[in-house]
Amino acid sequence: MSVQLSIRNLTKRYKTGEGVTDISLDVKKGELVTLLGPSGCGKTTVLRSIGGFLEPDSGEIMIASRNVVKLPPEKRPTSMVFQGYNLWPHMSIYENLAFGLKIRKTPKSEIKSAVEEALRLVRLPGVEKKFPSQLSGGQQQRIAVARSLLLKPEVLLLDEPFSALDAKLRHEMREELREIQTETGLTMVFVTHDQEEALSLSDRIIVMNQGNIEQIAAPQDIYDSPDTLFVAQFIGKMNFLKGVVEEDKLRVGSLVFPNTKRLEGSIVIAVRPEDVMIVADSGEGDGLHGTIKQMMVLGHYAEVSVELDGHGTIRAFQPRDRVKELSMGQRVTVAFAKVIAYPNK
């Protein structure tokens, strides 16, 4: 697939010194990528630079092989969906949607059918005559998406578009956005600080931290193999234990693992709760020993907290049936199916 959006060495520093530094990334045609990271990490700064609402200090932004850095927003082949819906309250939905096309001098009959098609895509056919105030928040956000789709952008930019909606609606909107993407083949850059949203929605995730990119990868790879300690902490639930490299093996207490990353000295071991194995053997077997401190049944699985002797508390996900064999205060042995190691800085 061809590259639709290419950012090279983008730097944008505000007067305060904050911003983003040396951002490079490629988005393929038809791909949905998310910029994910904590508040203030620079997601909106990158998105606004793509849309032309911010002038970068340096770097290139190519869309369909054309450098757009010098173009104002209206001349760029992008359109942006904001967190607030930004619909004009005194205009009907039809007028809100038709506005951009009228400016482009699109013939009336074409506008009418394009608006109909866009409303169908966002599952709101027939609301042309209504006013924004007569629609719910979720419906207004759908209209905002429809308005952007009508401009037939080469890249659609979405900045936390669903964050004002309740959890259930947010979930639905994600699925709908995915369907729209499949149907239209549109290239999208989506901004969120919600890791679950990013994991469920994206072809690839760009994890950002403090104005830099930490990792770019598919959701499953980000989850299975976080490149940095930051990504390991930010994505999903994770346990962290201190360890050490000895004789080219990673060691945590009596547990040893291969040193695939060739680390040295003091390390941090990361373990997903689903990779923690618990053996009810009075805490005498091979592994780390500890005492069960808490058990919470969460539907089809349970979260078990074990206070390890000298290694802190660890959380484990266990199948619900398994938990019946365990009890509070019980001594157990813990081992890990899979670990990821990082230098302890």
Ligand X SMILES: Nc1ncnc2c1ncn2[C@@H]1O[C@H](COP(=O)(O)OP(=O)(O)OP(=O)(O)O)[C@@H](O)[C@H]1O
Interface residue list for ligand X (CB under 6 A): 14, 16, 18-19, 37, 39-45, 193
CA 96 to chain centre: 30
> Which is nearer to ligand X, 16 or 260 (by Cβ)?
16
> Which is nearer to ligand X, 17 or 107 (by Cβ)?
17
Sign of CA dihedral 79, 80, 85, 86: negative
When CB distances are held under 5 to 8 angstroms depending on the partner's kind, the choice from ligand X, Mg ion, none that residue 40 binds is: ligand X
When CB distances are held under 5 to 8 angstroms depending on the partner's kind, the choice from ligand X, Mg ion, none that residue 19 binds is: ligand X
When CB distances are held under 5 to 8 angstroms depending on the partner's kind, the choice from ligand X, Mg ion, none that residue 18 binds is: ligand X
CB of 40 to ligand X, least distance (A): 4
Transcribe 233-246 into DSSP letters: HHSS--EEEEEEEE
Q: Locate tokens 């266990």: which residue?
A: 318
Q: For residues 313 and 102, give the distance between their C-alpha atoms in angstroms, rounded to a whole number.
A: 62
CB of 49 to Mg ion, least distance (A): 12
> Which is nearer to ligand X, 39 or 220 (by Cβ)?
39
When CB distances are held under 5 to 8 angstroms depending on the partner's kind, the choice from Mg ion, ligand X, none that residue 245 binds is: none
When CB distances are held under 5 to 8 angstroms depending on the partner's kind, the choice from Mg ion, ligand X, none that residue 243 binds is: none
CB of 264 to Mg ion, least distance (A): 38
Angle at 13 between CA 7 and CA 19, to 5 degrees: 75
Q: Locate tokens 């157990």: which residue?
A: 332
Binding mask 39-78 for Mg ion (x = CB under 5 A): -----x----------------------------------
When CB distances are held under 5 to 8 angstroms depending on the partner's kind, the choice from Mg ion, ligand X, none that residue 128 binds is: none
> Which is nearer to Mg ion, 114 or 158 (by Cβ)?
158
CB of 216 to ligand X, least distance (A): 16
Q: For residues 144 and 310, give the distance between their C-alpha atoms in angstroms, rounded to a whole number.
A: 54
> Which is nearer to Mg ion, 158 or 186 (by Cβ)?
158
> Which is nearer to ligand X, 181 or 209 (by Cβ)?
209
Q: How far is CA 16 from CA 12, 19, 54, 166, in A?
A: 11, 9, 15, 34
Two tokens, residue 296: 């919470």
Transcribe 250-294 into DSSP letters: EEETTEEEE-TT---SEEEEEE-GGGEEEE-STT-SSSEEEEEEE
Site of interaction with Mg ion (CB under 5 A): 44
